[in-house]
């Protein structure tokens, strides 16, 4: 991977100037690269990774993993039915998987009822949806490579040879 991208993937706040110094590239070139990645969609957007469990009032937010069995369509396969599902803002992630079901969704709602309502009134009635299985999440430990629990401060001595 381009080192400009791998630095940004680890820390989206890193400035183009710092990236330029870190990869030994002229600043203008780094800026041009980033602009190109933003334009062609390689960089989708920049965001902060939150541990929402620590946000007051957010703790009541409920998340569920939903397994969805669907019947694919003649010309578009799974793409079209997937799009009809992932366009719902409640759907935070959507993957097509191999195995005993087809789509795996992460869905977020204010409470269990909201999610139940989403499943019964929006998801399940879709023509191509054959069945759904909903798993409510209890604790999120790690997301997208980020362990959500803060590591304890390093115990290595502050100075050593």
Partner 1 sequence: MKKSRYLPSALVDSLAPSGIRAFFDLVLTMDDVISLGVGEPDFSTPWAFSEAAIYAIEHGETSYTSNQGLLELRQEISKFLKARHKIRYSPETEILITVGVSEALDLALRAILNPGEELLIPEPCYVSYQPLTVLVGAVPVPVPLNARNGFSLRASDIKSRITDKTRGILLNYPSNPTGATISRSELAKIAELVKKHDLIVLSDEIYDELTYDKEHIAFPSLSDMKNRTIYLNGFSKAYAMTGWRIGYACGPSKIIAAMTKIHQYSMLCAPIMGQVAARQALREGAEAVAEMKAAYHSRRNFMVKELNRIGLKCPPTEGAFYVFPSIKKTGMNAVDFAMRLLEAEKVAVVPGVAFGKSGEGHIRMSYAADFDHLKEAIHRIERFIKKRK
Question: How many Å apart are CA 41 and CA 153, to the nearest integer?
Answer: 37
Instruction: Extract the tokens encoding 124.
Output: 């399940």
Q: Which residue, 6 or 111, has its beta carbon nearer to partner 1?
A: 6
Lay out the site mask for partner 1 across 126-155 (x = CB under 8 A, - = otherwise). -------------------------x--x-
- Segment near partner 1 (CB under 8 A); pick from 1-9, 74-82, 96-104, 115-123: 1-9
3-state secondary structure of 55: coil
Give yes or no for a contact between 92 and 140, defined as CB atoms under 8 angstroms apart.
Answer: no
46 in contact with partner 1 (CB under 8 A): no
Residue found under tokens 């409470």:
111
Of 23, 43, 65, 96, the one binding partner 1 by CB under 8 A:
23
- What is the edge-to-edge ordering of all strands in the sheet holding 103-109? 91-96, 103-109, 62-70, 129-136
Of 2, 9, 12, 14, the one binding partner 1 by CB under 8 A:
14
Question: How many Å apart are CA 34 and CA 31, to the nearest integer?
Answer: 5
# residues contacting partner 1 (CB under 8 A): 18
- Segment near partner 1 (CB under 8 A); pick from 15-23, 39-47, 63-71, 99-107: 15-23
Give yes or no for a contact between 54 and 115, defined as CB atoms under 8 angstroms apart.
Answer: no
159 in contact with partner 1 (CB under 8 A): yes
Comparing CA positions, the residue from 124, 122, 83, 89 lying closest to residue 106 is: 89
Of 2, 6, 49, 59, the one binding partner 1 by CB under 8 A:
6
49 in contact with partner 1 (CB under 8 A): no
Instruction: Extract the tokens encoding 92.
Output: 């935070």
Q: Which residue, 125 or 159, has its beta carbon nearer to partner 1?
A: 159
> Which residues are at the interface with partner 1 (CB under 8 A)?
3, 6-7, 11, 14, 18, 21-24, 151, 154, 156-161
């Amino acid at each position: 991977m381009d080192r400009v991208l791998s630095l940004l993937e680890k820390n989206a706040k890193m400035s183009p100037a710092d990236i330029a110094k870190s990869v030994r590239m002229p600043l203008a070139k780094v800026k041009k690269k980033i602009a190109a990645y933003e334009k062609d969609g390689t960089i989708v957007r920049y965001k902060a990774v939150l541990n929402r469990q620590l946000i007051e009032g957010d703790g009541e937010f409920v998340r569920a993993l939903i397994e969805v069995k669907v019947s694919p369509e003649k010309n578009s396969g799974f793409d079209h039915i997937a799009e009809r599902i992932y366009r719902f803002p409640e759907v935070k992630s959507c993957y097509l998987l191999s195995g005993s079901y087809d789509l795996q969704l992460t869905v977020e709602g204010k409470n269990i009822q909201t999610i139940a309502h989403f499943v019964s009134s929006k998801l399940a009635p879709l023509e191509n949806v054959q069945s759904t299985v909903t798993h409510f999440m209890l604790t999120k430990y790690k997301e997208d490579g980020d362990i959500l629990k803060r590591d304890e401060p390093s115990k290595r001595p502050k100075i050593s040879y």
